[in-house]
Amino acid sequence: MPHALSLRLQAGPLLCDGAMGTVLYARGVSLDACFDVLNLNNPRLVQAIHADYIAAGADLIESNTFGANRFKLAVHGLEGQVREVNRRGVRLARDVRESAGRDVLVLGSIGPLGKYLAPLGGVTAEAARAAFREQAEALVEGGADGLILETFSDLAEIALAIEAIRAVTDLPVVAQMAFTDEGVTFTGRAVAEVVRTLCALGVQAIGANCSVGSSTLYEVLEQMVPAAGSLPLSIQPNAGLPSRVGERLIYLSSPTYMAEYAARMVDAGARVVGGCCGTTPQHIAAMREALDRKRPAGRETPRPTITVRAPTAGETVGLRRERAPTTFQRKLEAGEFVVTVELDPPRGHTVEKLVQGAKLLKERGVEIVDINDGSLGRVRMAVLPTALLVREATGLDINMHFTCRDRNLMGIQADLLGAHALDVRNILAMTGDPPRAGDYVDATAVFDVDGIGLIEIVRRMNEGLDATGSSIGEPTAFHVGAALNPVAEDVDREVERFHRKVEAGARWIQTQPVYDLASLDRFLARAGGSPVPVLVGILPLHSLRHAEFLHNEVPGISIPDAVRRRLREAGDGAHRLGVAMAQELVREARLRYAGAYLMPSFGRFEVVAEVLDAVH
């Protein structure tokens, strides 16, 4: 007996829903969060979006499982929950469908694995099939009416996905590829080749989605029609190309514009229309009206009223508490050896050199960078815009240093809230160097609180309170650390402050530059050990002159006599020796500490890149 989706595809045009991720993002979920695990952590939010799309007139809704394969979930430490996330995703959609009052079908959404196939990448065909099969089995168990493959750019990968699905079920499959604005896939395959390949794979519909807007995918559709024969076609464009406004992605296509194109696409031969990134329930409602105008009189279907309750404020707070950890946090909690590299904001207003250095570090395997905050009391670009510019240009995770020198208590909290709103959540809390250490000896400093007080402020924000105990609404999800100087002149005071920082809520410690791990070992032994991970500060030395400068002129840095003597004896080879000593420190730190915090002096990123050779 034919499946319901196959019968509906033959009967006439169907309207699919729009973007799940876009609406989740608009309702407060961070872009780097795991959208799929919300099926478990905040099901009411997911169901509320399904309900909105059904109420807008969608005939088909897709499960919130686009990224729920073992590879993408592993990024969030959730690879063991593939089946649970996928089954629950379908069941949430089915439960909403039951109250729709009309025949809405649920499609199990499957996206690409997120990793390249061999030989370009490390995923073998066997591993890919296993991952797709695992996801498909769970979607079928959840009760999907069909499966939809979306946003694939590699024909080989989508073929493996279809092969895996067919080993599990004979449910209808909609196979969609992503195309560039030049009308080819991202791997350079032409429309006709895509159609021929997909038609031969035994799917029930083929099409295109994502990446580009309505006008480009309309042109792709026109090329698909003559090549597809009688096979139904599905077209789901983005709401135009995204524009970044601050840290938000804004899609510019209006509901009216997309609705006009949806009607044209149906006229051109599309059997399924809908939307991808940027498409909202308002876009789908406009498409519904445009498609309904094409129906013969008397056949219009009444729009249902859905009774799924939207999440309450308390449930939204729960979502914030469940948001995915940052890359830095995840690595520390997983016990991985973490490497982070410090970047100083520029003295001027351009960041090109800094970005190029960050890209070099990323090529060497760095995933996290520290952005300094006015160290040594000198004027540089503010830390938050520097952090955002570097992250936008490189995709690196940011650990933002935050000092108390330049902000009063209100300013500290205002800047922290702004940082969190922009999803900068790793904070290294520091008191800060006073102005007298830099170029502006007559400038005033604030210091309403010190580094310990700053950690306390962050901890309260993570509980939903400001410094006075008043509510800030949703709690923040900062990951806060503290600085440590193991060779401080007053060791007892440093030990006491170390304990207070941890008690205030510091989740990790980063040290000042260390040139002899024995000194750090002795400090921590005196402190009774560290209950939180410790990252060892390592600043490579370039020459004897560099070492003498740091030792004699920079507060908080002490370089042992033996190290300076070795540099003196090395003569012209001092630079090579400095790199070798830093590499040795990294290797030693790997054996007994949580990570290394590398500091390139004078913007010499290439020196740190050499040191990184000891990490990989």
145 plus 288 within the same structural domain? yes
- Side chain identity at residue 230, one-letter code: S
Domain boundary among 319, 354, 381: 319
Q: Does residue 333 form part of some domain?
A: no
Q: Quick check: 228 pLDDT over 90? A: yes
**List of residues 6+ apart from 331 with CB closer than 8 A:** 338, 367, 368, 595
Tell which of 261, 288, 319 closes a domain.
319
269 and 123 in one domain?
Answer: yes
What proportion of the chain, given as a percentage, has pLDDT over 90?
Answer: 68
| Neighbouring C-beta atoms of residue 226, cutoff 10 Å | 10
Q: Is 384 within the bounds of a domain? A: yes
| 591 neighbors 568 (Cβ within 8 angstroms) | no
Q: Are residues 342 and 277 in the same domain?
A: no
Q: Which segment of 11-25, 120-134, 287-301, 595-609 scores lowest on mean pLDDT?
A: 287-301
d(CA 517, CA 538): 10
* Residues contacting residue 7 through CB under 8 Å, at least 6 positions apart: none
Asked if residue 346 and residue 212 are part of one domain, the reply reads no
Q: Using CA atoms, how far apart are residues 579 and 55, in angstroms rounded to an integer?
A: 63
Q: Which amino acid is at 257?
A: Y
368 in the same domain as 219: no
Eight-state DSSP code of residue 323:
P
Peptide bond into 325 cis (omega under 30): no
Phi/psi of residue 613, nearest 5 degrees: -60, -25
For the chain, give percent helix, strand, coil, nearest 5.
45, 15, 40
Quick one: what percent of the chain has pLDDT higher than 70?
A: 90
Kindly report the backbone phi and psi dihedral angles of residue 558, in degrees, each rounded to the nearest multiple of 5, phi listed first: -130, 125
Q: From residue 128, give the alpha-carbon distance in Å to each of 121, 122, 444, 534.
A: 12, 10, 60, 37
Give the domain range for residue 75: 4-319
Cα diameter, the chain: 95
Is residue 329 one of the residues assigned to a domain? no
With bands split at pLDDT 50, 70 and 90, how would you rate the model's confidence at 378? low
Token pair in block for residue 470 = 């008043």
> Is 259 in contact with 282 (CB distance < 8 Å)?
no
Query: How high is the pLDDT of residue 310?
Result: 43
Average pLDDT over residues 78-95: 96
Domain annotation covers residue 328: no
Q: What is the Cα–Cα distance from 217 to 220, expressed in whole angstroms?
A: 5
Give the pLDDT confidence of 23-46 residue by residue, as tens digits: 998 898 887 889 999 999 999 999
Residues in the chain: 616
Please compute the mean of the pLDDT values over residues 81-107 and round it to a whole number: 92
Both 450 and 508 in one domain: the answer is yes
Determine the pLDDT at residue 385. 94
Q: Are 533 and 594 a contacting pair, CB within 8 Å?
A: yes
Q: What is the pLDDT of residues 384-419, one digit of tens each?
A: 999 999 999 999 999 999 998 888 888 999 999 999
Q: What confidence score (pLDDT) does residue 61 get? A: 97
**257, 289, 319: which is the final residue of a domain?**
319
**Pairwise CA distance, residues 203 & 226, whole Å:** 17
Q: In this structure, how many other beta carbons lie within 10 angstroms of the beta carbon of residue 538? A: 24
Indicate whether 301 and 258 sit together in one domain: yes
Residues 122 and 224 in one domain: yes
The answer to whether position 207 is within a domain reads yes
Q: Is the pLDDT of residue 345 over 70?
A: yes
Q: 399 is written with which tokens?
A: 């650990």
Over residues 435-487, the pLDDT tens digits come to 654 455 556 778 888 899 899 999 999 999 887 777 898 999 999 999 999 99
Q: Do 248 and 344 share a domain, yes or no?
A: no
Q: Tell me the per-residue pLDDT of 130-172, one tens digit each, with 9 for 90 and over.
A: 999 999 999 999 999 999 999 999 999 999 999 999 999 999 9
Q: What is the pLDDT of residues 262-299, one digit of tens each?
A: 999 999 999 999 999 999 999 999 999 999 997 654 44
User: Distance between CA atoms of 39 and 217, rounded to whole angstroms?
Assistant: 31
Task: Please indicate, yes or no, whether residues 279 and 426 belong to a single structural domain of this protein.
Answer: no
For 367-378, letters b (16+ CB in 10 Å) and e give bbbbbbbbbebe
Residue 403, domain member (yes or no): yes
The pLDDT, as a whole number, for residue 573 is 93
User: Looking at residue 299, what is its pLDDT?
Assistant: 43
Q: What is the CATH number of the domain that holds 305?
A: 3.20.20.330
- Residues 300 and 405 occupy one common structural domain: no
Which residues, listed in sequence order, are joined to residue 471 by a DSSP beta bridge? 465
Question: In this structure, is residue 378 part of a structural domain?
Answer: yes
Give the Cα separation of 239 and 261 in Å (integer): 11
User: Helix, strand or coil for residue 454?
Assistant: helix
Identify the three-state secondary structure at position 177: strand
Number of independent structural domains in the chain? 2
Q: How far apart are CA 282 and CA 337, in angstroms?
A: 47
Establish if 522 belongs to a structural domain.
yes
**pLDDT higher than threshold 60 for residue 349:** yes
**Which segments of 281-404 are extended strands (E)?**
338-343, 368-371, 397-403
| 306 shares a domain with 346 | no
Question: Which range (98-102, 137-141, 222-226, 276-280) has the least confidence?
Answer: 98-102
- SS3 call for 509: strand
